[in-house]
A and B are shown apart, each in its own frame.
Chain A
Amino acid sequence: MDYDAIVVGGGHAGIEASLALSRIGFSTLLITQNLDTIGKLSCNPAIGGLSKGNLVREVDALGGEMAHLIDHSMIQYRILNRRRGPAVQAPRAQADKFTYARLAKETLEAQHNLALFMDTVVDILIDDHNRLVGVVTERRHTITCKVMVLTTGTFMEGRIFIGEYDASNGRLDEPAAIGLGSALRKKGFPVGRLKTGTPARVRRSSLDFDQMEIQDGEETMMPFSFDYDSIQRPALPCYITWTNENTHQIIRQNIHRSPLYGGKIVGKGPRYCPSIEDKVVRFPDRERHQIFVEPEGVGTEEMYLNGISSSLPEEVQHAFIHSIAGLEHAQIMRPAYAVEYDFIDPQALFPSLESKLVENLFIAGQTNGTSGYEEAACQGLMAGINASQKLKGEKPLVLSRNEAYTGVLIDDLVTMGTQEPYRMFTSRAEYRLNLRHDSCDQRLTAKGFSVGLQKQEALDRLKDKLAKMDAVKDLLRARRLEEKSALQALRMPEVTIADFLERMPELKAYEEPILYQVELDVKYEGYINRQERQISRFEKLESLLIDENLDYDAIEGLSAEGKEKLKKVRPLSVGQATRINGVRNSDIAVLIVHLDRGGRHGR
């Protein structure tokens, strides 16, 4: 055996998977097509956002790397939706994409137990018992291992489109990984096509910022990671401009030249992140669409035009970009393009992200039909952790829907599959009040520790943080303001803890994240309690476990459709079974009766 573990792909999923495996102590090899593109931010130079910021912090609490990378490469920091309520606010940061990728590679290189190798995997090796035993690469190396994590991103049989032009690429001018997709199809994997797109990059010195709105970040940057309390980074502004009727006119006149409308692309694109041509066609009444002009880094003139991804021909892109205020003379450095790629139906995975078809093969990231760096990272981490658990002969770590967005994401994927690139949304979670970003450490740090990834230090810090929060709450409780205690006053919607700093200078002894979390805790308490009952119900069904090898054919009374769906998904709990499309209430009842007959919950 050459390695305990092989990770294929050095994207955001592969980084987390390879670090987790090697940190837990297994000899690991990361094979990726190009060492220079490790950790590349393919699309938007930003990390975090609504629910995505939570994912980053979950990864951090479990012992992953993404938060460290963005904390040390950010060039603007904001907390989104402060006014919408604590449960949905989330941090987002612009990244210097060069620094981000460089830090990623440095971190991998510095990691004990982790080897890096540049090549392209074209096939997997399977033994007689359907167990994965190794990989074959383009340059004809055969490398063996006990477990593998596959993270191919947009590269598996990737193809990019710009108007009439198309090429076999995973990203602009980066060769696709050819061969693996067909090999997996032949082995019976349910492989499909999805599509996504990215906007043009333009040259900073060619833009007229006087015609744009300026958008600054927060004054203080707060770290994504729970490992430290503050960060110092230079901050750059972003800018906002708008399309206009003229822009839309140009797009409408050339819509037939889009490969999407011409039928060249078969993969489905994300509804939540439509191209500008989609927006113009689907919302003809809108007079303008917003564009965020974002720096791609400190040492570069490239600016990212957030909001106008496109696959129209380059001359059309020129025409419509030049019709926009402030962009009249924009020099386009890289064109917008669409990419179509192979993904593998995630319903063929267990909640551990291990394949149901081939043992010891774990799959993560865009390959599972998701899109987004954070979505990729959290899966990569879980796949890495569970591949380690498998090597140790221990039970997989499966996060629940009420403790992490990561749990929601993976459960959604393996239970329901996806028809479009899957992105996280807060509304996908039933109990989002419980999934606040600032309390990820309380829910997950101990779990990261128990699988051997998180350090003792992190546990100690958490304990220390909780003690400090208690101390702050005591201070607030003891202090009377008019007829109320400060604690009660803080419950009012318009009051923030910052309002007390003048009158209660003793609070200044505590770090910003501590004060922030106390504020959210206090504001939320009453509402959280209201959800408890619902949650305990939910947990009850989740705790009725089903054997993965349960013989559904032997159970009488299941509907034909229900049986077929149950056999496909093979849920591990009754709770999961209830979420499968096509499984009826009566099927669930029959299932419960059957489990009970087997004496499974001992009554």
Chain B
Amino acid sequence: MKRYVTDDIIYALATAWAQSALAVIRVSGEGCRKLLSTRFSRPKALLEAPNATLVHGYLCDEGGKAIDEVVAAVYTEGHGYTKEESVEFTCHGSLAVIKELLALFNRLGMRSAEGGEFTFRAFLHGRLDLTQAEAVQELVSSQSQRSRSLALGRLEGSLRSLISDMKEQLLGIVASVEVQLDYAEDELDEFVFPRSKLVDLIKQIKDLSDTYQIGRLYRSGARIVLAGSTNAGKSSLFNLLLKQERSIVSPVRGTTRDYIEADLDIHGIPVRLYDTAGLRESNDAIESEGIRRTERLIGQADLVVYLVDSTELGHVPEEDERTLVVYNKSDLVKPPKGRMAISAQTGEGVGALLTEIAKRLAKGSVSTGDEQVVIESERQHALLENAAQALQRSLVLVDQDIPLDITAVELGEALQNLGELTGEVTPADILQKIFSGFCVGK
């Protein structure tokens, strides 16, 4: 029951999980400045900064290598959002950087915050007045929904069975140790620590944890290519989605010559969006090269959004897993019934389009071919890492012949971490495992 304890240090990404110019990571809890200063290029400046001031510097890894240039907003106790000692880092918004910083904080021994936890602390410290308590309750219940959804029941099928299988293996190892601790040596068979099982389990957990690093979707974002004939409205849609005039729009066919890319977040999924040169027969060498590039991008895309100009129906490709056909300019001409339609000018239908895109991406049309189970959340990653580290420490203890009762502490910690992913493990579960697996009791 870690979740409602307020004396440890928590961290979380405060901005969206997406590629962006800047990101904010929030850290809160007594002693956080001291801990952070050990990885900050100007420890003294961070430690001595008065309340509500900014400190510029670098966050570095254990080897002293800079991970990113950051600006730290420092709040002393009694101030800031949570009214706890806290630091808000503004860093570069590349997903790789964010991920590395979060991993660094985890290694420092800080805890990835639960949804709503910052607000919860703010409330407990009187930051929100009591009339806002209802809002907090709501928050808290959405938090619990999230934590419940993170428990076994809602994990995606194959991931869920993978993790519960690991938990089962660990429970087996724990039970074989606990039975040694709860029954006298002369009542039991000769005990050999199941070392190879442990080594094997550590590898499984590490492998799963590592998918977080290679999970393509979240490393570089999903690639979405806007394609279609010239003047279909690709650049118009591109600008609309980015909420800025990035790409030139004009009634002239073939306006976009080379592709333009930008990052955005679609329903929490980081996406790299490409505006491309319209597809048509062309004698212009530059335009032809542009079209070749478009074709290459289409080949690499996770999803192709193929825009059709409703005012002049030309070639309409087959829909498939990777191709979404969308009729544009719905404000001018009624598109065919039952087809996805939008207006890049008025914005009509764009909400539905985004939902459809997110649905397609989540379906796994993303990881092309590869059926690997991947870890998607920072929290899952942190819990797996902590479990693997605790098991690694227990392995060291076993190899040094340290008595079992101490090894058991590390095994217990690993079990607790896996339990947070799949539902709690209680002493009763361990005893149950002992009684069903071992013939004990005089």
Contacts and interface: CB of A to CB of B under 8 A. Distances in A.
A578 B1 contact: yes
Contacts of B182: 50-51, 88, 425-427
Interface in B393-412: 400-406, 409
Interface in B26-84: none
B144 interface: yes
A282 interface: yes
A464 to B, nearest CB: 29
Given A84-B185, A85-B404, A433-B405, A427 B439 contact: no
B187 interface: yes
B140 A593 contact: yes
B181 A84 contact: yes
Contact of B441 (A272, A493, A527): A272
Contacts of A273: 441-442
B403 A585 contact: no
Given A427-B178, A427-B181, A84 B120 contact: no
Interface in B407-427: 409, 427
Interface string A578-603: 10000011101110110011000001
Contacts of B125: 603
Interface string A423-467: 001111000110000000000000000000000000000000000
A87 B405 contact: yes
Contacts of A270: 441
Interface stretch (B3-11, B92-100, B341-349): B3-11
Contact of B4 (A51, A307, A433, A588): A588
B137 A283 contact: no
A426 B181 contact: yes
A44 B442 CA distance: 10
Contacts of B143: 585-586, 589
* A-side interface size class: 35 or more
Contact of B126 (A240, A494, A585, A603): A603
Contacts of B406: 85, 87, 433, 527
A299 B442 CA distance: 24
Interface in A40-65: 44, 49-51
B439 A289 contact: yes
A175 interface: no
A271 B5 CA distance: 35
B181 A88 contact: yes
A215 interface: yes
Contacts of A215: 186
Contacts, number: 145
Interface string A71-83: 0000000001101
A578 B440 CA distance: 31
Nearest to B136: A593
A437 B400 CA distance: 25
Interface string B102-135: 0000000000000000001001111000100100
B1 to A, nearest CB: 4
A540 B140 contact: no
Contacts of B3: 585, 588-589
A530 B109 CA distance: 13
A273 B404 CA distance: 23
A556 B134 CA distance: 9
Interface size bracket, B side:
35 or more
Nearest to B435: A271
A590 B139 CA distance: 10
Contacts of B441: 270-274
A432 B141 CA distance: 34
B403 A493 contact: yes
B431 interface: yes
Contacts of A289: 439
Contacts of B126: 603
A279 interface: yes
A179 interface: no
A589 B120 contact: yes
A509 to B, nearest CB: 28
Contacts of B5: 537, 540-541
A350 interface: no
Determine which residue in B133, B182, B402, B430 has the highest number of CB atoms from chain A within 10 A of its CB, and name it.
B182
A92 B184 contact: yes
B405 A86 contact: yes
A361 B136 CA distance: 42
A286 B402 CA distance: 31
Contacts of A37: none
A292 interface: yes
Interface of B: 1-8, 120, 123-126, 130, 133, 136-137, 140-141, 143-145, 147-148, 178, 180-187, 400-406, 409, 427-428, 430-431, 434-435, 439-442
Closest 7 CB pairs between A and B? A85-B403, A586-B144, A85-B405, A87-B405, A273-B441, A271-B435, A80-B184
